[in-house]
Amino acid sequence: MKTTTATAEVLNDLVQINNDRIEGYEKARQELKEGDADLKTLFLNMIAESQKYKMALAAEVAALGEDIETGTTNSGKIYRAWMDVKALFTGHDRKTVLNNCEFGEDAAQNAYKTALEEEDIPSNIRDLIADQKASLRVSHDEIKRLRDAQA
């Protein structure tokens, strides 16, 4: 029973990280200018990606008989507030938005890494987490590449 609860807690942490990611990309889309249609489309894809991952994680939590988290993490809320303050001083330029997004992607990678370090997670759930982490890494690298391409 203890292992089931611990596994559900890990999964719920990842649900919250994906909720943060969804909110972060929705906020980032609002900060972009009209000429940034490419990023708006990319961010929509990343929102959809996190919604898909969140649903897969939530299904595993439900299968364990535990309650599914619906909120965001405290660190996520702090991250979004930091984005708001930073935007006031730096504007909404493309590079700033991408910098903020990379910060969020780094946080997601760290959360998934921490989840994979947990002992006693069933192998099927460990595989799910590892697969999601790998896909999120591709998104992280795309954000970093776009950010680095800015002057």
Model pLDDT for residues 84-140, shown as the tens digit of each residue: 555 554 566 788 888 888 888 888 898 899 999 988 899 999 999 999 999 999 999
127, HSE (Cβ side, Cα atoms, 13 Å): 3
Question: DSSP code of 32?
Answer: S
Length of the chain: 151
Phi and psi angles of residue 73, each rounded to the nearest 5 degrees, phi first: -80, 160
Which domain covers residue 25, as residue numbers?
1-149
Q: Which amino acid is at 17?
A: I
Model pLDDT for residues 67-82, shown as the tens digit of each residue: 888 877 665 555 555 4
Residue ranges of the alpha helices (H) in the chain? 2-31, 37-63, 74-90, 94-117, 123-148
* CATH number where 24 lies: 1.20.1260.10
What is the per-residue DSSP string for 45-72?
HHHHHHHHHHHHHHHHHHHTT-PPP-S-
**Reported pTM:** 0.86
Token pair listed for 151: 């002057």
Query: What is the number of domains present in the chain?
Result: 1
